[in-house]
Chain A
């Protein structure tokens, strides 16, 4: 699976859009981009995933660049409950989901 690079930490004001970047420059054509988050002392929570096209669901939007070497997770109106560690994972859709170090997002009141 391709490696990902994420900023260690980010802050975002409550009510604003939180944009979390992820670099995956070695991604191959059949690898998906997944985003999970983990709120303190809970299990990770699946947010969204995509292959080539941008995706949106009730939680977030995922923007994947045309060359697929990077992506951005967008939380449109961040709330305090969005404070968590966010993991970007690139995977062939197989059984082995490997977590990197993630981005610690803090929502500021």
Chain B
């Protein structure tokens, strides 16, 4: 298995809703990442988990809450989002938390906040 699987592929949520994005990989990668991508812009790093511990938080608002229950699974919990949070959310993984082996990205969850 050489993929990063993200679910759901599309999500529409209201500003008062609570939802979660899920990311899964079975490549034995020990680092996992969340990126946010607005239309026609490059991906922006949000969070990095290394060996299931949060190692980087790029000053992301607390309405985004990451969780890494085990080495294969990464969640992003969403609460009280704003319309400007609508974007493509990308999950990625890499072997040892070192980018020298390249990252594997999922296809993303397209989130719309209404």
Residues of chain A having any CB pair with chain B under 8 Å: 32, 34, 36, 38, 41-46, 49, 87, 91, 93-102
Contact = CB atoms under 8 A, between A and B. Distances in A.
Secondary structure at chain A's binding surface: helix, strand, loop or mixed?
loop
A94 B105 contact: no
B108 A34 contact: no
Contact of B100 (A32, A43, A45): A32
Contacts of B31: 95
> Nearest 8 pairs between A and B by C-beta?
A43-B105, A46-B102, A93-B100, A99-B42, A95-B48, A93-B98, A44-B105, A95-B97
Contact of B55 (A87, A95, A100, A101): A95
Q: Contact size class for B?
A: 20 to 34
A97 B45 contact: yes
A45 B90 CA distance: 12
B104 to A, nearest CB: 7
7 contacts: A32-B99, A36-B103, A38-B43, A41-B108, A46-B102, A96-B56, A97-B45
B107 interface: yes
B104 A46 contact: yes
A96 B90 CA distance: 15
Contacts of B44: 99
